[in-house]
Amino acid sequence: MKRRKLFTIVLALLLASLALEALVSPAAAQGGWLAEYYANGKLSGAPALVRYDAAIDFDWKDGSPDPAIAADNFSVRWVRTLYFSAGTYRFFSSSNEGARIDVDGARVLEAWDGPHATRWGDVVLTEGQHTVLVEYYEGTGNASVHVWWNRLGTSGGWEGHYYDNAELRSGPVLIRDDAEINFDWGEGAPAAGMPSDNFSISWTRQVNLAPGYYRLNVRADDGVRVWLDGGLVMDYWKPQEYEWHYADGFYLAGNHTLKVDYFERAGGARIRFWWEPSTTVPTPVPSPAPLPPAPGPWQGEYFNNQNLSGSPVLMSSDPALDLDWGLESPAPEVMRDNFSARWSGTFQFDAGRYSFTTYSDDGVRLYVDGKRVINSWQPMRGTRSATVDLSEGAHIVRVEYFERTGRSQIRTSWQRVGTASKPTVSPVPARQPAMCEGGPLQLDAWPVAKTCNPGGGWTATIFVQGRGGNCQYTYAWEGQVKGDPTSSSMTFGVKSADWNTAIVGAVTVTSAGETVKVKLHIPHPTCQ
């Protein structure tokens, strides 16, 4: 008994020494959060496991954090010293079950009385080092905890959130104002306390622009994504050698929100972002040899979101699908930007091969008898086409469209181009299997927009893109399939009934019998 008691005392002293070292050692600080895991829900006794966690961003579901910890009735204490610029900070937690946060020994957030959606607390911090302590307990059932923070108030330029991981996970290790995004860190770190590889940054700012057409430019080594007013306009989230990319032809006037996300994998780290007047002719390039628009009537539905979700705000009957609203909205009930629409009609066809053509600004999908034959659900301007063999008789054509920002236009036409190779074949998209690169199945997934719902709650629009496999992808959210198998990316909406609740769940992609999962934690927008 005496030996066991002596061993417990020595172990406790050793753990205390590790904790002290983590708080004062820069090398240990770069290891992440010092985590002590307890085999009880009271943070009592000696921890059963001590390790460093890169982020407090866990969803263990009905499992456990480690084989040394039971799946139920455990608790965790994380501690870390971080640098903060002067300002008011809002700390958030979303947990199942209890969580609480202290900063410099003062309680900032208390949510220790059971399962919680997102809760927050504010604290004013001076510039310099501050110690953040997070405590969590799990009773029974699913276990999850997510912690992050933001600085309140406005920035004088770009507000940069710097993360010591490549996935923009959990809370940033640094929030600061940057006058411009034009950095060349070489093989060094972007700031003290940051690693020189495997880091990420998210910048946001408000800009006031004179009316006109603009080009957005970015050069990055490595990955970069750019949003304009909540819409994803450039996506190059991959290792690259300081490549230049741009998105052109945006008509902008007044206040707009820009967001740039960046990650560095290894080696040199550089990024530059800028905008300039566009040299593109500010009128759509006409489709070659335009055909007469498809005859109607088309039955239309309009939605004040980008993903055709909820109830339509406007119904229409259009004699032809040849609509050009310019920079205006389709109707007073419909927003000028960030809206979507769906049209459908039943038409008589002679047997034969038909070429279907769309011209759109922005995204478009076209279905014939429920089969998708055109899929370009992304910000774009231009022509898309597909060839379909149809039997004689009536066929249903459906067109889906979304508008991001700037000019809005949609046109659909078709013409018979030959004899059907198989007289009674159902329509299928033209396929090019030679373009499929194959390889291990991978999935990119992230939120691209958040919308407050008028009746309560909010909706997150999620972008997903599969790679590898057999290049035919079925996407699902929490096991619910979100569309037909497709060879490209897609977006879909996920709703929360509570304005103050984060959306937490998993996106999956299935291809060739294999499934890959990406977990998402999406903080709620400010809706009230």
CB 320 within 8 A of CB 297: no
Percent of the chain at pLDDT > 90 equals: 24
Cα gap 326→308, rounded to integer Å: 21
Cα gap 508→502, rounded to integer Å: 19
The kind and range of the H/E element at 171 are: none
Q: What is the mean pLDDT of residues 73-87?
A: 90
Q: What is the mean pLDDT of residues 179-206?
A: 89
pLDDT of residue 115: 67
Residue 424 has pLDDT above 50, yes or no: no
Domains annotated on the chain, with CATH? 2-151 (2.60.120.260), 158-277 (2.60.120.260), 295-418 (2.60.120.260), 437-522 (2.60.40)
What DSSP assignment string belongs to 173-242?
SEEEEES-SEEEEETS-SSTT--SSSEEEEEEEEEEEEEEEEEEEEEEESEEEEEETTEEEEEE-S--SS
Amino acid making up residue 435: M
CB 383 within 8 A of CB 415: no
Residue 27 has pLDDT above 70, yes or no: no
Label residues 395-410 b or e (16+ Cβ within 10 Å = b): bebbbbbbbbbbbbbb
Joined together, the tokens standing for residue 121 give 């607390």
Cα gap 337→456, rounded to integer Å: 22
SS3 364: strand
Cα gap 477→462, rounded to integer Å: 10
CB 429 within 8 A of CB 406: no
Cα gap 139→363, rounded to integer Å: 46
Q: What is the mean pLDDT of residues 13-29?
A: 41
Within 10 angstroms of residue 338's Cβ, the number of other Cβ atoms is: 19
Pairing of strands 243-264, 295-303: unpaired
pLDDT of residue 281: 43
Percent of the chain at pLDDT > 70 equals: 85
Residue 488 has pLDDT above 80, yes or no: no
- State pLDDT tens for residues 141-187: 888 888 888 888 766 788 899 998 888 887 888 888 888 999 999 98
SS3 12: helix
SS3 9: helix
Joined together, the tokens standing for residue 240 give 């690259």
Q: Report the mean per-residue pLDDT for the chain.
A: 81
Q: Which residue has the tokens 């996506």?
A: 235
pLDDT of residue 2: 46
- State pLDDT tens for residues 224-235: 998 888 777 788
pLDDT of residue 438: 58
Confidence of residue 420 (pLDDT cuts 50, 70, 90): low
Give the global pTM.
0.48
Q: 331 pairs with which residues across the strands?
A: none
Cα gap 182→270, rounded to integer Å: 8
Confidence of residue 476 (pLDDT cuts 50, 70, 90): very high
Nearest to 306 by CA among 380, 401, 226: 401
More confident residue, 195 or 291: 195
Amino acid making up residue 87: G
Amino acid making up residue 326: G
pLDDT of residue 294: 54
- State pLDDT tens for residues 294-338: 555 788 899 999 889 888 899 888 888 888 888 888 998 999 888
Q: Which of 124-138, 248-262, 370-384, 434-448 has the lowest mean pLDDT?
A: 434-448
More confident residue, 281 or 37: 37
Confidence of residue 24 (pLDDT cuts 50, 70, 90): very low
Q: How far apart, in Å, are the Cα atoms of 283 and each of 60, 446, 493?
A: 52, 32, 31
C-alpha gyration radius of the chain: 27
If you ran DSSP here, which 8-state letter would residue 286 be given?
Answer: P
Nearest to 487 by CA among 376, 384, 396: 376
Q: 38 pairs with which residues across the strands?
A: 75
The kind and range of the H/E element at 294 are: none
Torsion of CA 176, 178, 184, 185, to 10 degrees: -10
CB 200 within 8 A of CB 168: yes
Joined together, the tokens standing for residue 31 give 């290891």
Instruction: Classify the C-alpha dihedral 324-326-327-333 as positive or negative.
Output: negative
| Sequence-ordered list of residues with C-beta below 8 angstroms from that of 398, at least 6 positions apart, any chain | 342, 343, 344, 366, 367, 370
Nearest to 73 by CA among 134, 136, 144, 140: 140
Cα gap 181→420, rounded to integer Å: 55
Within 10 angstroms of residue 461's Cβ, the number of other Cβ atoms is: 23
- State pLDDT tens for residues 363-384: 899 999 888 888 888 877 777 7
- State pLDDT tens for residues 394-408: 888 999 999 987 778
Phi and psi for 300 in degrees, rounded to 5?
-110, 150
CB 312 within 8 A of CB 302: yes
pLDDT of residue 31: 61
Joined together, the tokens standing for residue 335 give 């927003």
Q: What is the mean pLDDT of residues 281-285?
A: 41
The kind and range of the H/E element at 378 are: none
Joined together, the tokens standing for residue 380 give 């774009």
pLDDT of residue 117: 67
Residue 426 has pLDDT above 70, yes or no: no
Amino acid making up residue 496: S
